[in-house]
């Protein structure tokens, strides 16, 4: 059965234009008005969904035609349309960047595209850029364009006057204002939960958006963005391969790169999930396996190094032959030391030989696939550090084109890699990561 719902994909000509601020502000504005809003993030991003979840009050899932797959995206959009008045999808990078791109996703599901353009350093060129985005690909459904970081009313009028298709494509201008800027660091936006004024920032952005034609659209006006979302094929039932198993998951501001869908997969496999905080030096709760997800251990290296209960309980867990799967930031403190980009070394947990060295430049970025005996896991890599170890990898991930990617290390019951896995791409392979003797 097809479900209809108003939906919009918030895109831009490049990264850094303000997509997240506008997408979260739009979601917050309508949620405050009492509408049911669901949000998604295009691409393999962990950080922007924190802001979208704060704006909507609901978990935010990722949509990617390669990593999550078309069937998964269709099912999630259809489920959201059953209960929402508005679906907001935030794009990734520039509208046509990447394979697949945000434009590919929009075209596949008929999502109207809103282009957010940082107009702070332009005037007439704004119109040319908007026209190009709208007409570069035939068949792309267009919602309009929003000027961001505008200097004032006169500047806004200049931008509007330059639009070829004005007024139908003009959805307003948002003035530059530090009150609703979202702070960034080396991997992207700061996690919303780390800022005590995060919701106030979103409310300020929503208030600014409320003064624009975009923000003044009511429920009836949203109907022009109605999209029909097809029902997915009958989902397969996962075998309870982790039934009776308890998986302990590190979760705090140092280990926060967790797809909500990954938790859903573990539960569907029959696992009981328990959480602990290495930053608080909590020992492992009673468990059969451990997942150390990515995050920012480099920002908390001294705290992680000073704690002993997490480290000692992890060591005892591994010595008992119980599995550990560590991803990227979750892998980093397992080595002997973590070295900052300035050369300062901190002794860490010492479960793997070698050290991890932070860099000031990006070390790796892109989609990856990990082929295991029980199936292939899709995911991605994104990190600013490098691993210096005598360990020989037991396998490597691959890019979609077959190029060698990230190393996967194994020492006893510990498996670790810079690779971030999307568990739903292969529940059977996922289960093998958390079972004794699995995977390798």
Same domain, 42 and 109: yes
User: How would residue 190 be classed by pLDDT, with cut points 50, 70 and 90?
Assistant: low
In CATH, what number is assigned to the domain containing residue 198? 3.40.50.300
Same domain, 186 and 293: no
Instruction: Give the chain's length.
Output: 440
Instruction: List residues with catalytic annotation.
Output: 328
pLDDT of residue 176: 86
The 10s digit of each residue's pLDDT in 295-350 is: 989 989 999 999 899 999 999 999 999 999 999 999 999 999 999 888 889 999 99
- 3 state DSSP class of 349: coil
* Secondary structure (DSSP) of 257-300: B--HHHHHHHHHTT-EEEEE-TTTTPPPPS-SEEEE-BS-GGGG
Same domain, 283 and 373: yes
Mean local confidence (pLDDT), 421-427: 96
Q: 383, 328 in Cβ contact below 8 A? A: yes
User: How would residue 193 be classed by pLDDT, with cut points 50, 70 and 90?
Assistant: low
pLDDT of residue 361: 84
pLDDT of residue 213: 95
Residue 393's nearest CA partner among 373, 368, 418 is 418
In CATH, what number is assigned to the domain containing residue 344? 3.40.50.880
Cis, peptide link before residue 100, omega less than 30° from 0:
yes
- Predicted TM-score (pTM) of the model is 0.93
Q: How many CB atoms lie within 10 A of CB 64?
A: 25
The 10s digit of each residue's pLDDT in 371-413 is: 999 999 999 999 889 999 999 999 999 999 888 899 999 999 9
Residue 90 has pLDDT above 60, yes or no: yes
Number of domains composing the chain: 2
Domain C-terminal end among 229, 264, 297: 229
Q: 229, 78 in Cβ contact below 8 A? A: yes
Angstrom distance (rounded) from CA 6 to CA 111: 9
Domain C-terminal end among 173, 198, 229: 229
Angstrom distance (rounded) from CA 46 to CA 61: 10
Residue 172's nearest CA partner among 185, 187, 153 is 153
Q: 211, 172 in Cβ contact below 8 A? A: yes
Q: Per DSSP, what are the bridge partners of residue 372?
A: 375
Mean local confidence (pLDDT), 209-226: 93
């Amino acid at each position: 059965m097809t479900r209809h719902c108003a939906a919009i994909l918030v895109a831009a000509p490049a990264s850094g234009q303000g997509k997240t601020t506008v997408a979260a502000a739009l979601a917050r504005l309508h949620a405050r008005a009492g509408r049911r809003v669901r949000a998604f993030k295009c691409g393999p991003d962990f950080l922007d969904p924190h802001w979208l979840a704060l704006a909507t009050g609901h978990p935010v899932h990722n949509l990617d035609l390669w990593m999550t797959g078309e069937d998964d995206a269709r099912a999630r959009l259809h489920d959201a349309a059953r209960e929402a008045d508005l679906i907001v999808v935030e794009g990734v990078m520039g509208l046509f960047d990447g394979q697949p791109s945000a434009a590919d996703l929009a075209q596949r599901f008929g999502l109207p595209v809103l282009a957010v353009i940082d107009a702070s350093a332009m005037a007439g060129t704004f119109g040319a850029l908007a026209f190009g985005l709208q007409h570069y690909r035939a068949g792309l459904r267009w919602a309009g364009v929003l000027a961001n970081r505008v200097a004032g009313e006169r500047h806004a009028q200049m931008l509007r006057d330059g639009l070829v298709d004005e007024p139908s494509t003009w959805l307003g201008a948002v003035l530059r204002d530090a009150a609703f800027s979202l702070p960034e660091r080396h991997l992207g936006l700061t996690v919303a939960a780390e800022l005590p004024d995060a919701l106030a920032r979103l409310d300020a952005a929503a208030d600014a958006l409320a003064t624009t034609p975009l923000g003044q659209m009511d429920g009836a006006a949203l109907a022009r963005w109605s999209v029909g979302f097809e029902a997915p094929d009958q989902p397969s039932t996962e075998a309870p391969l982790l039934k009776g198993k308890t998986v302990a998951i590190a979760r705090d501001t140092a280990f926060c790169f967790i797809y909500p869908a990954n938790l859903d997969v573990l539960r569907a496999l029959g696992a009981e999930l328990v959480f602990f905080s290495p930053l608080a030096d909590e020992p492992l709760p009673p468990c059969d396996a451990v997942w150390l997800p990515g995050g920012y251990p480099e920002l908390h290296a001294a705290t992680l190094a000073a704690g002993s209960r997490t480290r000692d309980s992890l060591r005892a867990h591994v010595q008992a032959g119980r599995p550990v799967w560590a991803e990227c930031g979750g892998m980093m403190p397992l080595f002997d030391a973590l070295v900052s980009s300035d050369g300062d070394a901190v002794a860490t947990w010492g479960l793997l030989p070698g050290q991890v060295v932070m860099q000031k430049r990006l070390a790796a970025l892109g989609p990856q696939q990990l082929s295991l005996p029980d199936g292939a896991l899709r995911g991605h890599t994104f990190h600013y550090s490098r691993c210096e170890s005598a360990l020989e990898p037991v396998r490597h991930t691959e890019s979609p084109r077959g190029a060698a990617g990230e190393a996967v290390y194994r020492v006893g019951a510990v498996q670790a890699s810079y690779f971030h896995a999307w568990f739903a791409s292969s529940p059977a392979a996922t289960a093998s990561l958390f079972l004794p003797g699995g995977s390798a």
